[in-house]
Amino acid sequence: MLRTYLYIPQDLNTKINTLSANQKVSKAELIRQALRAGLKRLDTGTSSSVELLLKLKDIGGRHDLKGPADLTKNMDNYLWKAK
């Protein structure tokens, strides 16, 4: 295991102390659990978006769907422009 140092605000330290006492685990273990859960959540959000775009690409390819010729140039307009 590696040792690392980080600065945290006082309110976060208080929450860590309280939770570690309530759950009867060390502060280090509680922080490791929180990091694992947080990183998993962040990783899932990114990969699911990419997976969705790849699925849409496959559907378009199977059905030979064609979008507007200027789609890549005007992507923001098509996605965010009010109709």
Burial 25-34 (b: 16+ CB within 10 A, else e): eeeeebbeee
Q: Give the angle 53-59-64 at the CA atoms, nearest 5°.
A: 125
The model's pLDDT over 11-64, given as tens digits with 9 standing for 90+, comes to 999 999 999 999 999 999 999 999 999 988 877 655 666 777 778 778 877 877
Provide the whole-model pTM: 0.52
Give the whole-angstrom CA distance, residue 70 versus residue 62: 21
Give the whole-angstrom CA distance, residue 65 versus residue 35: 42
| Boundaries of every domain in the chain | 11-78
**Residue carrying structure tokens 């200027």:** 70
